[in-house]
Chains A and B, each alone.
Chain A
Amino acid sequence: DIQMTQSPSSLSASVGDRVTITCRASQSVLTYLNWYQHKPGKAPNLLISSASTLQSGVPSRFSGSGSGTDFSLTISSLQPEDFATYYCQQGYSSPFTFGPGTKVVIK
């Protein structure tokens, strides 16, 4: 099975900050890597698929990069509505494991 790790596990940031979250797979997943945003009590929201494809309706301040085993999600200018937990997920092979999540909190 492919194991996913994320760093950091949590971060404290201010509105307007640039934030980068990294995700690493235990073996290559090519570019089958998705990023989700999850807020308490709500359904998760797909932000980015195929490592770097921004989903329709997702603000352009979100971007993704990487391939193989190393990936990153960047928020160029953090907004109040971006405080949430972010998960990566490998979509390459079953079981389609999620990373442990990165919680973004207000500084």
Chain B
Amino acid sequence: QVELVESGGGVVQPGGSLRLSCAASGFTFRNYGMHWVRQAPGKGLEWVAVIRYDGSIKYYADSVKGRFTISRDNSKNMLYVQMNSLRAEDTAVYYCAKDWRVLAAAIRAVIDFWGQGTLVTVSS
């Protein structure tokens, strides 16, 4: 069965950096686009970033563009997000999520599996 396990969350000071990882199993990771989605405390879901199955296309939310970088290692079944210049408003549970479509050339979004999330707190 599909399993997505996030790690790397924690407390970081404003302006700091953090890298989140997501270990994927139970499906052919290299064939699927992957997303990061976050939820700030008491707020709704916010889409953060997506990467195509082969890593060739990446898109970001305006709120993180230029600060976050999504990447993947298909040889290790791992998804990452490097988060730099962190702000208090980046405090959230970050979910790793799998897109539904296999070997999709164009980037759309249908998220059919989610991890349990990892909490990032940006605070001094």
Q: Are the C-beta atoms of B61 and A95 separated by less than 8 Å? A: yes
A-B contact count, CB below 8 Å? 67
Q: Chain B residues near A99 (CB, 8 Å)?
A: 44
Q: Is the CB of A34 within 8 A of B109?
A: yes
Verify if A44 is at the interface (C-beta below 8 Å from B): yes
The residue from A42, A85, A89 contacting B47, defined by CB atoms under 8 A apart: A89
Give the size of the chain B interface in residues (CB under 8 angstroms): 23
Chain A interface helix/strand/loop/mixed = loop
Give every chain B residue within 8 A of A97 (Cβ-Cβ).
Answer: 47
- Do A98 and B110 form a contact, CB below 8 Å, given A1-B62, A43-B95, A49-B100? no
Which chain A residues have a beta carbon within 8 Å of chain B's beta carbons?
A: 1, 32, 34, 36, 38, 42-46, 49-50, 55, 85, 87, 89-92, 94-101
